[in-house]
Amino acid sequence: MSSNANKLKLTEKEINSIIYLLKANKPVKIRELQSNVWGYQSQLETHTVETHIYRLRKKISKVFKDKNFILSKDDGYEINKKE
């Protein structure tokens, strides 16, 4: 992703998370992201998704000044397509 001269370096999981959220066209539960992006099938509590989304939001906010690109919904996330 880039904005003029600004460049944003993303990890493979960050790219895959954005693509998955964009294709979903609806809020995506954390467990669904764990399963489909990370390949986790466990019922163990993990904050992997939350941590990655937090870091991804910080990157996007720093480069693009967009704090609302990824919205938090009931126990999940979605891409803000309104802006």
Residue 20: C-alpha distances to residues 5, 7, 43, 76 (Å): 26, 21, 21, 12
Q: Number of structural domains, the chain?
A: 1
Each residue's pLDDT tens digit, 52-70:
999 999 999 999 899 999 9
Whether the model clears a pTM of 0.85, i.e. scores above it, the answer is no
Domain range for 36? 10-79
Each residue's pLDDT tens digit, 4-44:
567 889 999 999 999 999 999 899 999 899 999 988 777 66
Query: What number of H helices and E strands is found in the chain?
Result: 3, 5
Q: What are phi and psi of 14, to 5 degrees?
A: -65, -45
Tokens representing 42 are 């466990």
Quick check: is 3 in a domain? Answer: no
CATH of the domain at 56: 1.10.10.10
d(CA 28, CA 63) in angstroms, rounded, equals 25
Quick check: is 2 in a domain? Answer: no
Quick check: is 4 in a domain? Answer: no
Quick check: is 65 in a domain? Answer: yes
Quick check: is 5 in a domain? Answer: no
